[in-house]
Chains A and B, each alone.
Chain A
Amino acid sequence: MTVTERSVAGSTTSAAGDRQTFWGGLVGNGIYRSLTDLIFRSPRRQFLLLASLPVAWVFIAHLGPILQMLWVSFLDSYPPTVGQEPSLTLANWAKFFEERIFMMPFLRTLVFALIVTVSTLLITYPVAYFLAKHVKRKNQMIFLLLLLIPFWVGEIVRTYAIMILLGNNGAVNLVLKSIGLIERPIPFMYTTFSMSVGIVYLAALYMLLPLYSALEKIPNSYREAAADLGAGPWTRFWRVTLPLSKEGITSGCTLVFLISTGFYATPVLLGGPSTTVFAETIAGFFHVAGDEWPVGAAFASIMLIATLSLTGIFLKIMGRDGKGLLQ
């Protein structure tokens, strides 16, 4: 590459700011035009090259199937009955708002996802902290791998293992009985407790890795400096460690929140009679009666909108909306 190019590249960040709104709009509208622009050597060209694949991918691979789902959510029957043209309707969407019984699992799922996110954070933070700050650097990989192994057991097999752990005749009750602590088994299973045991397991990894990677790169010298200035352990934690691990917390919480609204098998298998989650409600439309596809699609769209909005708000609060991401 030549010197001229280099100087052009160097000015990308500042120069691009003026034109990006315009070009971004172009990209949003037509990939074709962005491709024709590739022949021009300029910051624009670079940006468009950068934008082409992600934008094409999200529109074709991410949006395509969703549009498919949205379309079905407005049909009155799907799959179509032989000899009948399906007609358009809003009834599937209206169903959610008309019948109050669906509101409960919906709200429960959102609250539940929030609780899962917070408790997973509280449980895994000390673990990640210990790993990043107290384990010798050369051993960290081994300690981390140790934590990663159990996640490779499939969700279903692991969930059944939790059942034989917590059942009335399960491992925990057998041990408690044999050491004389209890006479009658404690019914752990099919309660909020058993469900939490399974869910935290499922979510922990997605919190653990971002936290670890954020904590790991905080230089020890920062805390030492704070200590030299007379800060106690708590002050050091609140004023130094916690703010510096914010990026890890945000990313871990986003991941866990996003996936926990979709949890299905674990709550179904470990939960009790009153812990129905929304994913279960949606799956019910396919599981039992096949022609409820449109309602399932409408409900999924509602969940989608809710989850994405909440995630957006969360990211905004955490300062990840715009400026925060790489100056």
Chain B
Amino acid sequence: MSGRTRVLMSVIYWAFVVYLFVPLMLMVLMGFKDSKFIGFPIRGYTMEWYLGVFQSAEVINVFIYSMTIAIASTALSLVIGTWTALLLGPHRFFGRAVVFALTCLPAVIPGIISAISLRIYARLLEIEPGMLAIILGHTVHNVPFVALVVMARLSTLPKSQLEAARDLGADEAVTFLRITLPYLKPALIGASVFCLLLSFDDFVRSFFLGSYEPTMPVLIFAKLRSGMSPEINAIATVALVLTAVLGLWAERWNRRITP
């Protein structure tokens, strides 16, 4: 690859990073603004908003609640989504197209409709509104993303590897655990990122399926009623830092368990 393309590529990458980070920087900065509203000019700075986040347990509790929901629904989505991909990927059968379309459905329905339908449906199944209902609701929404991503990866799995494993005497289960699953790992990591993100940032399903405990977006939406305040920016910043710490910890843990 020529040097010029290389430079051009790196310029594009860093420009993209700047594009992603500038709004983020503004958000962090506005959390220090001494006013009830974000925006320029900034006449004074204060630590009050950031300190406020830690002074009441509310934000931290809401963060933990949201994170628990996100992690639980992601785990569930990964199992169901991968299982679905394993069915739809290699197998041709009558009704496959129907099952595939049904798998994709929840990703396409507008949030508000999906949320209300799920709420009514949950009542039909006698699932109480609350954490479990939100987890299931998010799982429904996440499964299509997992299935699509895993199917894409699965389609490139060299058949020779599976055959080699069988020739060496591995049965189906062993082949899956030793060959397929490791091969799917990048897709599974990518899908987890999608799921965690979709769940953590979902407002409308959490609102309709939830009970009296707000998730992060529900809290932020409610606070937004009286204006986009530095307080909200401080809350979002703290949530971001906590998420980043959690992510880094997960990454190190992942490195430790995989040689």
Query: Contact residues of A with B, CB < 8 Å?
Result: 1, 5-6, 9-10, 12-13, 16-17, 20-25, 27-28, 46-47, 50-51, 53-55, 57-59, 61-66, 68-69, 123-124, 126-127, 129-131, 133-134, 141, 143, 145-158, 160-162, 164-165, 167, 169-171, 174, 201, 204-206, 209-210, 213-214, 216-217, 233, 247-248, 250-251, 254-255, 258-259, 261-262, 264, 279, 282-283, 286, 293, 296-297, 300, 303-304, 307-308, 311-312, 320, 322, 324-327
Contacts and interface: CB of A to CB of B under 8 A. Distances in A.
Contacts of A22: 94
Contacts of A160: 38, 228
B171 A154 contact: no
Contacts of A69: 109, 113, 117
A61 B140 contact: yes
A286 B244 CA distance: 36
Contacts of B24: 149-150, 153, 158, 161
Interface stretch (B44-52, B53-61, B213-221): B213-221
Task: List 9 tightest A-B contacts by C-beta distance, closest first.
Answer: A24-B93, A251-B152, A24-B94, A161-B23, A54-B84, A28-B95, A65-B117, A20-B93, A58-B102
A141 B250 CA distance: 13
Contacts of B187: 213
A303 B141 CA distance: 17
Nearest to B224: A156
A209 B193 contact: yes
A53 B153 contact: no
A233 B30 contact: no
A308 B108 contact: yes
Contacts of A27: 93, 95
Given A174-B40, A282-B112, A296-B113, A161 B105 contact: no
A233 B9 CA distance: 14
A223 B93 CA distance: 38
B94 A62 contact: no
A68 B124 CA distance: 10
Interface residues of B, number: 106
Nearest to B102: A58
A64 B124 CA distance: 10
B233 interface: yes
Contacts of A1: 171
Interface string B75-98: 000001001101111111111111
Interface of A is mostly: helix
A258 B107 contact: yes
A304 B86 contact: no
B236 interface: yes
Interface in B147-198: 148-149, 151-157, 159, 166, 169, 171-172, 186-187, 190, 193-194, 197
Contact of B118 (A65, A149, A300): A65
Main secondary structure on B side of the interface with A: helix
A230 B109 CA distance: 50
A103 B259 CA distance: 56
Contacts of A286: 112, 116
Nearest to B194: A206
A6 B171 contact: yes
B243 interface: yes
17 contacts: A12-B172, A58-B103, A65-B121, A65-B140, A68-B121, A129-B9, A145-B251, A148-B247, A153-B24, A156-B203, A157-B232, A161-B233, A164-B40, A217-B186, A247-B153, A251-B148, A282-B110
Contacts of B91: 16, 20, 47, 50-51
A50 B82 CA distance: 11
Interface in B127-146: 136, 139-140, 143-145
B217 A326 contact: no
B106 A57 contact: no
Interface in B1-43: 1-2, 5-6, 8-10, 12-13, 16-17, 19-24, 26-27, 30, 38-41
Given A6-B169, A283-B112, A158 B27 contact: yes
Given A6-B171, A282-B113, A312-B101, A247 B156 contact: yes
A150 B23 contact: yes
A66 B193 contact: no
A68 B117 CA distance: 6
Given A145-B251, A325-B154, A300 B110 contact: yes
Contact of A57 (B143, B148, B217): B143
Given A134-B6, A303-B110, A64 B121 contact: yes
**Most-contacted residue by chain B among A154, A214, A258, A308 (CB, 10 A):** A154
A298 B115 CA distance: 15
B180 to A, nearest CB: 10
Contacts of A254: 148
A27 B94 CA distance: 9
